[in-house]
Structure 1
């Protein structure tokens, strides 16, 4: 299969922004806008309220507000809607839930969203990321890819490059497949980065040959597509190596409009996301958004490139 034959699948076309009226909620909104720029997708701006509330639904709505709290929430949602450029369709809504993470994941499934966008709290590691309870729960249970906006994210979009971070661990096929797919959909460059940490795998030497690593860690179909994209100039390859993940990340340069893609841990249940130790250490070192993919989210077989719908 050549890169020109890469399957352009039907997609949900919706991005869920997990919104709160805070700095990190606004970071998530800005990343959602950046992801939607120049794409035929819409934003679902969602706030979660306790299950016993009486004011769930889409905003703005026609009826009057029943309480000061409802009026305040409606005001926050209107402020979020006002930030979205007119050319990007956006809907704001409140969803009820005893668990914020479960409510967000359920809303993403009900609304056929292809990604949940979340922000980092103010006291993030190295000023970039700190996960609140809801985000941490999503990173260990979501059935939908999670896009993490670093603190102070301000790139207006559209995205300029997709970087896949992979190694000899479970989830490599998910990462490479979604990277290939998203780069082609957006018609932006793809960077395939082989992460090589001595002592963590007997396949360290193989990781220095990125096309061979793609074939070994993922499969031949993906390797063929990646190889043609590299040959045509639509993709590049790099090796990031060091004594540890942090050292390896220092070897890489980043663009303002870039997004990095990582896979789930081997501990992830099929169809679920589980942020592993390597990806968590990457969060401490990179200044750009990171997309974490659930286990088995992208599946590749003979004669087809991917079989899972999605749009990020």
Structure 2
């Protein structure tokens, strides 16, 4: 098994490699940085132009691989435990090529960085990463912009909801927690819906609804705790993350060095592999720590 890093040509942010090495500190496996560069079309009518394009593309690939090797070299502390490799390949679709490389190299996860427009410390998908997330059968780990760490994975927090997808995700994250040797925390996010101008007695009804949500969430979490204990995981934290909006709710549970957050798909249907529902997408955008998006189990 290995960690496959999607490393972009002319990348000015080594966050994806940082995250892959963090995962590898806890579960030592080879880390392979793959830079995907454009492939020429190979049409006879444009043979000369196409050759020049391929030469330029190859130069981009070699330079990107050199940058990745330099990023690996910034972490000599784990060089003896974790083999690293930086390569480049030509392809017409970055997401499809990364998935092909992941299959060829026996990767169990694909690690990527955030968009250049993301604020430091925040996660934001690029258009390519968004397509990768929605089509991959493997988990996708996304590093916040400018992410740096020297720790391993100390705690795995799973965003849990009481439905079929949530329970399926819980079991998969329990296994991830074991393999990474990390503590497990189960968090349910409760965010009040936007209030609309209505009669004065509705806010009281809204409060009652939120209280009911909280009661149901607490009961589901206790059930999840008991289920995890039956799987041999006794030291599990549970928490309700509530707030007037998503940033406040996510910040309310507290985050530490070595934390990662795991969210799942909104559907377990095979055709929806990893479809980020509105809640999961908001969690990803507001997470202050790396996020692992796990595809649905399929039906």
Question: Which TM-score bucket, shorter chain as reference?
Answer: 0.7 to 0.9
Q: TM-score, normalised by structure 2?
A: 0.77
1:160 positional shift: 0.8
**Which of residues 34, 39, 46 is equivalent to 1:46?**
34
Name structure 2 gaps, 5 residues minimum: 43-55, 194-208
Name the larger-Rg structure. 2
Return the alpha-carbon distance in structure 1 between the equivalents of residues 264 and 158 of structure 2: 9
Return the alpha-carbon distance in structure 1 between the equivalents of residues 120 and 227 of structure 2: 38
Equivalences for residues 197-276 of structure 1 within 5 A:
197=191, 204-214=214-224, 223-226=226-229, 232=234, 234-266=235-267, 269-270=270-271, 272-276=273-277
How many positions carry a matched residue from both structures? 266
**Which of residues 101, 117, 121 is equivalent to 1:123?**
117
Q: Which runs of 4+ in 1 moved over 3 A?
A: 65-71, 196-204, 210-213, 226-230, 242-247, 267-271
| 2:85 is equivalent to residue 91 of structure 1 | yes
Return the alpha-carbon distance in structure 1 between the equivalents of residues 176 and 57 of structure 2: 43
Q: TM-score, normalised by structure 1?
A: 0.74
Return the alpha-carbon distance in structure 2 between the equivalents of residues 271 and 29 of structure 1: 28
Return the alpha-carbon distance in structure 2 between the equivalents of residues 296 and 238 of structure 1: 25
Encode CA deviations 1:8-58: one digit per residue, 9 max, x unaligned. xxxxx211111124233x00000001110142311011110223399xxxx
1:141 positional shift: 1.4
| Contact 2:121-2:147 at 8 Å conserved across structures | no
Match of 2:141 in 1: 147
1:188 positional shift: 2.2
Name structure 1 gaps, 5 residues minimum: 1-12, 55-64, 215-221, 300-312
Bigger mean CA deviation after superposition, 41-50 or 172-181: 172-181
**Aligned-residue CA RMSD in angstroms?**
3.1
**Which of residues 176, 179, 182 is equivalent to 1:185?**
179
The 1:203/1:158 distance shift into structure 2, 3 A limit, reads same
